[in-house]
Structure 1
Amino acid sequence: MNEASATKQKNIDEKFCKDCGEIINEKAEICPKCGVRQLPAPGSLSSVAPNGKSKLVAALLAFFLGGFGIHKFYLGRIGWGIVYLLFFWTFIPAIIAFIEFILYLVMSDEEFNRKYGGA
């Protein structure tokens, strides 16, 4: 059996390209061989939108500081953030933010990127 037909072995800090199967660095965003962007696994909370906004960060901000609208400011919804700040004393924004926390966690990456991924 020659070397070309041997199975590829990757190290701990490496992964396989999702398109061509080449072994690349674990943190590589683009495969150096085929040039295809390496997207995170579907449903992972660590995915990041094209503008750098993270679904996990938005969910955590909604959970811990949502009553003040901090997650709205983070996602670029400044007007809604101000509304949350004006009415935080009623605890209504906190209840809505808890619901949004759950929605962010179950939202698909594509939907999150469509709603909040604009540059």
Structure 2
Amino acid sequence: MDEVMTKGIDEKFCSECGSVIKVKAEICPKCGVRQLPVPNSINLGTLAPNGKSKIAAALFAFFLGWLGGHKFYLGQIGLGILYLLFFWTGIPAIVGFIEAILFLVMQDEEFNRKYGQ
């Protein structure tokens, strides 16, 4: 009798041999065939050890940079308050936009080193 194979939420079936493998597996450990990326998946980047995401920080800087939203998200409360105090000048909005771009081009390792503690 054929055995019914079930997979967990973090698993998928190998495209070649049908074995149950992890979703993030690039190569099937059973047959060695490279797996195609999951369709409609969006890579939002890795998380820092403290759970912070550079994509989230960039979005906060872009949309709420004028209020210091990204500074509060990254745990830099003092700088966040400084942004709040001077938001009326427009300077924090310009700086927030620049920081959003810097977050997007920053390497994951550098983001983790600066903001991952």
Q: TM class, shorter-chain normalised?
A: 0.5 to 0.7
TM-score between the two structures when normalised by the length of structure 1:
0.66
Closer, same or farther: CA 15–113 of 1 in aligned 2, 3 Å: closer
Q: Aligned pairs, how many?
A: 90
- The runs of at least 4 aligned residues of structure 1 exceeding 4 Å deviation read 7-13
Q: Is the 8 A contact 1:62 1:100 kept in 2?
A: yes
Q: Which runs of 5+ in 1 are unaligned?
A: 1-6, 24-43
Root-mean-square deviation over aligned CA pairs: 2.5
Indicate the residue corresponding to 1:22 in structure 2. 29
Residue identity matched to 1:107: M
SS at match of 1:49: coil
* Cα distance in 1 between the residues matched to 2:62 and 2:53: 14
Q: Distance in 2 between matches of 1:8 and 1:79?
A: 55
The C-alpha deviation readout for 1:19-68, integer Å capped at 9, x for no partner, is xx637xxxxxxxxxxxxxxxxxxxx6421100000111000000000000
- Identity among equivalent positions (%) equals 63
- For the residues of structure 1 that align with 2:89 and 2:19, how far apart are their CA atoms? 55
Uncovered stretches (5+) of structure 2, i.e. residues with no partner: 1-15, 31-42
Partner residue in 2 for 1:61: 60
- Larger-Rg structure: 2
TM-score, normalising length: structure 2? 0.67
User: Aligned pair in 2 of structure 1 residues 10, 61: CA closer, same or farther (>3 Å)?
Assistant: farther
Q: Is the 8 A contact 1:45 1:105 kept in 2?
A: no
